[in-house]
Structure 1
Amino acid sequence: MVLLKYFVAELIFHFFIMMMIPFVNIILSRYKKEIKTRIIFLITILFSLLLSMSFPVRVAEGIAFDLKFIPIFIAFFYIGPLGGGLAIGALLGVNILGELKEFLLLLLNYLLIIPLFGSVYNYYQRTNPWRKLFIGVAFYILITGTRIIALVQSGQSDDFLYLFSFSLLSILTLAIIIYLIEMNKLQLAMLEQLQNADKLNAVSQLAASVAHEIRNPMTTIRGFLQIMKDETNLTSKQGMFISVSLDELDRTQKIIGDFLSLARPVNHFCEPIPLSQTLTDVAEFMHPFAVMSNVNLITNIEEKLIINGNINECKQLLINLIKNGIEAMPSGGNLELFAYKENGHVRISIIDEGIGIDPIQIKQLGQPYYSTKTKGTGLGLMICFDIIKRMNGDYQISSKEKEGTTFQMIFPL
C-alpha cells in the first residue's frame, strides 16, 4: 500500500511539471519569431516529458505511472506531427535503456496511437476549444482503460482508488492545459482584431481628411503633363520622364481611391445578387488584362447562384482578387475561377499558379501598409476582407511557395 501523503505529494509535483507547458506557451505567444518560439516550446515539452518519466507516481506496490501522454499530445496537436514524432522518439529513446518487454509494449502502444492522432489532426485544428477539450479527454480515458487492465492483472485491484485519483488529476491537468492554450489563442486573436480595427480607423480618418484635398491638385498636374506629352519638340528622354510621371500619378490616384473606399460610410443596402451572371461579367471584364499578362482565365461557374449583398461591392471584391491572382503570375499561367453550392452555402474559389505566399505572410494579409507586392499598400485586400465581412461571408487562404495560391470565399445562400 502506497502512503497517502507521498501519493498526494507526487500528484501535486506532476501537476506543476505539466503547468510549465501552458505557462511557457503564453510567454512565447507574445513573440513574433514563430520558428524560434516553436523550438523553445518543443524543448519545454520534452523537458516536462523527461521530468515526468524520471519521477513516476506510485499507485501500487511495483506499479507506477506518469503523465508522459500529456506532453506528447500537446506536441502533436500544437506544434505538429513532426513535434509529436520527436516527443515520441525521445520517449522511446529513454525507454530503450530499460527492459525490452516494456519497451516493445510502449512501442506498440504508440504505433496504435499515432494513426489515431493523425485521423483527428485536421479536425482538431479547425474545431472550437470545447471540442478540443473533448478530444483530449477522450484520448486520456482510453489510456486510463489500459492502466486499469494493468492494475487488475497485477492482482492489486485494492489500490484502484489511487489509480482513479491519478487518472482524474491527469484528465483535469490535460483539460486545463488545453483550455489555457486555447484561451490564450482567442485572446491574441481578439487583440489582433482590435489592433487592426484601430489601424483601419486611423486609415479612414486620414483618408477622410486629406484624400479629396490631394486628388484635386493631382488632377491638375496630370492634365498639364498630358498636354506636355503631346508636344512634338520633346526629346525621347523627356517623353519617357513624362510617361513615368503619369504612371506614378495614376498609381497614386488608385491609392487615394482605396483610401476613399475605406473612409466611405458603410452601405447596409442589401439585395439579391445574381452571382453566376456577376462572376461571368467580371471574368469577361478581366479577360483582356489576363491576355496581356499571358494568363489563361478558366471559369467553372454553377448556374443560378444567388447571394445577398451589394452588387457593386461584390464586383469590386471579385475584380480585386482576380487582378491579384493575375499579378501573382509574372511569367503567365492558368487562373481558375470556380463557384458552386455546398452545404447551404456558395463557395467561390480563385486559384492561381503564381509565386505563392509563405504562412507568416498569409497571417499578415489585409493589414494596412502590408503587401507582398513591391509597390502595394495592402489596402486592396483590406477592402476585400471588409466587403466579405459585410456580406456575412468567410474566407480561406491556402498557398505553397512557387506553386500558387487558392483564395476561397463562402457566402450563405
Structure 2
Amino acid sequence: MSLIKEVILQFFFVLIPFVMFNIYCRDKMRNFSRSFILFTSSISLFLAMTFASSVIDGVIFDTRYVIMFFGLVYGGIQTGLILLGEFVIYRLYLGGEGSIVAMLIAVFSFVVSLLMYRSYKTTHRKTIFTISAGMVFSIVALTLTYFYFPHYFVENLTYHFLVIPLQNSLGIWILMSLFSKSVSDKEIFIKHAQNEKIETMSHVAASLAHEVRNPLTAVKGFLRLMQENPTDLTKNAQYMNICMDEIQRTEMILSEYLAISKPLTNRYEPVNVAEMLKVMRAVMSPFAILHNVELEVRTPETSVTIMANPDEIKQVLVNFIKNAIEACANVRKGRVFLSLMVEEGKAILVIKDNGVGMDEGQMKRLGSIYFSTKSSGTGLGLTYSYHVIHTFGGTVTVNSKPNVGTKFSITFPYQE
C-alpha cells in the first residue's frame, strides 16, 4: 500500500506543470512561455526527487526522466540542460550508493530525449510515441541498474518490471496528453478572442462611419446650397444653424464612442449620491427646460454614500437623466422624477418619466451595444452606464409601457 501511495504521489508531481498552467494562464491572452516551463518543471523535478519511491536506501526511482523530456519538448534544449543540471546537483546532495548509476542513467536518458523530442512534435501518433518514450526510459534505467546492482535487481523483479515502467509510461502519457490538450485549447481561445476583437472593431468602425456620415452628408448638402446662393442671407443663416446642429450631433456621437472605448478605472472612493443628485439637477435643468420637461429630484436629508468612481457615476447619471428628458420631449407636460432612498442596506435610485415608454422587446435589449430607442441614438450611453453600474456591484431594473412612461431602478451597494 505504501508503494502505491508513492506512485500516486509521483503522478501528482508530474502533473504540476499542467495544473499550474490551468491556474496561471487561464484568464491570460497568451500561452505558456519557456520561463513558465522551466519554473514549473523545476518544482516538479525537485518534489519528485524529494519524495521518490525506493525499495532500499540509496537507490531511488522517480519520474525525473518524464519531467526532463517534458521540459525539453516545451522549453527547448536550454531548459532541458538546466533541468539536467538541477538533477545532477540535487542527486549528488541526496547521495547514496545509487547516485553514480543515477548520473549515468540521466545522461543516457537525456541523449535519448534529445533524439526523440523533435520527432514528438511532428508525429501524429503522440499517444503511442509518449508511451514508447516512457518504456525506453524504463529500459535504460533497468538495464544500468541490473548491470551495477544485479542482486538488488533480482530480489525486486516485480517492482522493477511493473512499478517503474508504469510510473514512466503512464506518467509521461498523462502529462504530455493533458498539457498538449490545454495548450491547444488555449490557442483556440486566443485565436477566437482575436477574431472576435477584429470583428468587434470592424463592427464599431462600420457603425461609427454610418453614424458620422449622416450628419456630414447633411452639412455637405447645406454648404453646397449656400455656395449656390451666397446672396440669400436669410436661407443661408438657416442652413448655417442646421449645419451647426449636425456638427454638434457628430461631436456627441464621437464622445459616446470614446466613452464606451475608454477602460474603466479601479479608483473607488466614497461618493455622496444625494449631494451629486443635487448638482446634477442644476446641471441638467437647462437641458430639461429646453425640452419643456419638468425635472424634479428628491433626496434624503442625510448623506447616502457609495464606493465608486465619482466621474463615472456622474456620467451614468447624465446618461439616464438625458435619456429620460428626451423621452418626454414630445409629451404634453413631460416630467422626470428622481428619488433616492436607502432600503435593507442598499441605496436605490429611481428615475421615472412619463415619456414614450418601451415594449417588452425593447426593454430586453436595453444596455446592448448599438441598440437605441431613439432614431438618432447610438445606444452607447446606456451600454456604458450598465457596464459601470455592474462593475462596482450595482444592478439595474426597468419597468416600462408604451405611451405611459419608464421607471429605472438602480441599486448601489450602500456604504455605512
The TM-score, its normalising length taken from structure 1, stands at: 0.45
